[in-house]
Amino acid sequence: MCGIVGYVGEREALPFLTEGLRRLEYRGYDSAGVAVLGPSLRIVRASGKIAALADRLRTEEPNGTTGIAHTRWATHGPPSEANAHPHADCRHRAAIVHNGIIENYGELKGELAARGHRFASETDSEVLAHLLEEGLQAGKSLADALASALNRVRGTYGVVAISEDHPGRLAAARLGSPLVVGIGRDEYFVASDAAAILGHASGVVHLKDGELVEASAEGYVVRSLVSAPVDGTVERLEGTVAGLQKNGHPHFMLKEIHEQPDVLRNVLRGRVDMEAGTSILGGLRDVGDRLASLDRLSIVACGSAYYAGLIGKRMIEEWAGIPVEVDVASEYRYRDPIVTAHTAVCAVSQSGETADTLAALREAKRKGALTIGLVNVVGSAVARETDAGIFTHAGPEISVASTKAFLAQVATLALLAVHLGRRRGLPSASARAILSELERLPRLIASVLEQAAAFRTLAREYGAERDFFYLGRGYGLPLALEGALKLKEIAYVHAEGYGAGELKHGPISLVDAAFPSLVIAPRDSVYEKTRSAIEQIRARGGRVLALTDEGNADLDGLAAQVIRVPHVSEALFPLVGIVPLQLFAYYSAVQRGLDPDQPRNLAKSVTVE
């Protein structure tokens, strides 16, 4: 969601702060600002993109070796300079940046105003600056003043503070909103995403909930909010600066779509044992006995990860014979889920910090379930809090709309399904056939990417449409849901994903010549039924764009346009079929003059409920 960077050391802070903000642009934001501590505290903020802030900084360049910066995604108060972070106290001697939600801010704001504090914004975050001010005026250290402030609040936070009262220091804490501490030589960095500090830090400490760090050029100390010492483990910083570059592509989204063959190779690397006919998932080794006794698996996720979970459900039920439920994570803990000692709950999240998914995971753990994390980010909250886990190895995903992370999640769930299946009687020959086909998919996906120009042409043809149905059955249904989500997210088209079998139960009333349908129709076990849905649409004057496999000429003349991808087995079709849907959405956004990397109102990692 919002982006945070902070620096304390011996060099000028501003260059790092502005570079860090640019690296976090992909998270989505509507305003930005910096606060630098030199002889005095100077704050520069701007509504809009970082370019607007950069223009301000050309004439108001603050100097100093300690600083914090922020990109805001509006929650309390509209996008404006006044509501942008950093926020200062009444004396303009201290400043904070904050990600998260302060639930009791109204109550606290009333108390502070009654004591004479003057507020300059409509945000919930500003109360932290004034609570910090009271601690500092009472003579507390920066860390103690921040801890005292945070002990008054209810909600979630990733927060960093600096103050003229304690020059050359910064303090930061987290609860439900990620923060990492980067370790340098005589300098330290804080960020909400490790992408901001790649190339600067040699290692990182991932703050856990309820932990606080205070740092200066001389070193850093990690502690709890109640001053108990914490042994913050320094971990290797994953990723490279090259992963944050477009490498000649006009947008990160297109680059990441084209990275998918390599992403799939990374998912499979070292995890396929063809001789034994199984997948090797080292992160599950310690929970093998509990996996053997499972009678039910629940998958909890949000957005694209939820749709990946729907595909995983079918794979696991088909290959392992384990009943699987898939829950939207934001609903899971509010329905009093039934959990036993033989239930596993798998949390699927690209960032590993999605607030609703974390809340669902914690509810499952509280009830005694075996918890499994399927995430892309090493050191994330989901990775740390689950009993076992599997990393997807998709690499940094910069575009807000998920593409390669979705594909990596589906492929990893396929490996999990094989792994569980071999424990439940899946024949080794069947497992080898699945794994062999998975190993062929990178080449097949690359062949689909070679058709990119055709998808650009289709986007031009449908560029004026305001509505779209995406229809599918079987494995095609979650693919339809994900394809519709992509078109909604980045091209701002009203797109509905629906089961093709549900068309006649109401939605078909919308079908006419102005409401086209993209129908996912591979030659699978439900092909004839899907074809029947196309006939029904045609009978009502609707136009059909069909996605099928190579060699199928049956839809020629029935569909207005036909997209063909290499023929693969029914269960693995989503891994090939998703690529045209991603490209169609991407080129539709470009055709409409929109930025596919930073769609309006959206954030990359949703860390508030």
CA angle 116, 122, 126 (to 5 degrees): 60
With contact defined as beta carbons under 8 Å apart, do 298 and 344 qualify?
yes
Asked if residues 20 and 63 have their Cβ atoms less than 8 Å apart, the reply is no
Helix (H) or strand (E) holding 428: helix 428-449
- Give the 3-state secondary structure of residue 35: strand
Enumerate residues 6+ apart whose C-beta is below 8 A from 20.
3, 5, 69, 189, 191, 196, 197
Local structure of 519: helix, strand or coil:
strand
Burial 56-82 (b: 16+ CB within 10 A, else e): bbeeeebebbbbbbbbbbbbebeebbb
Phi then psi for residue 133, to 5 deg, are -55, -45
In this structure, the chain runs to a length of 609
- From 379, 368, 376, select the one nearest 351 (Cα to Cα): 376
Burial class of residue 335, CB neighbours in 10 A (0-12, 13-18, 19+): exposed
Buried b (16+ CB within 10 A) or exposed e, 282-297: ebbeebeebbeebebb
Hey, what amino acid is at 173?
A
Strands 278-279 and 517-520: unpaired
Vertex 83 angle, CA 78 and 87, to 5°: 160
Residue from 41, 23, 243, 12 nearest 32 by CA? 23
| 3-state SS, residue 495 | strand
Cβ neighbours of 562 (radius 10 Å): 18
Q: Kind and range of the H or E element at 31? A: strand 31-37
Name the one residue in this structure whose structure tokens are 């269960």.
571
| Cα–Cα distance for residue pair 15/4, rounded to 1 Å | 15
First to last CA, the chain: 11
3-state secondary structure of 55: helix
Q: Is 604 a catalytic residue?
A: yes
Of the candidates 109, 313, 486, 604, the residue annotated as catalytic is 604
> Alpha helices, DSSP H only, in 282-328?
288-292, 303-320
504 carries an active-site annotation: no
The one catalytic residue in 2, 140, 302, 488 is 2
At 574 the three-state DSSP class reads: helix
Q: Which of 149, 203, 198, 197 is nearest to 172 (CA)?
A: 149
CA distance 573 to 23: 34
Residues assigned a catalytic role: 2, 604
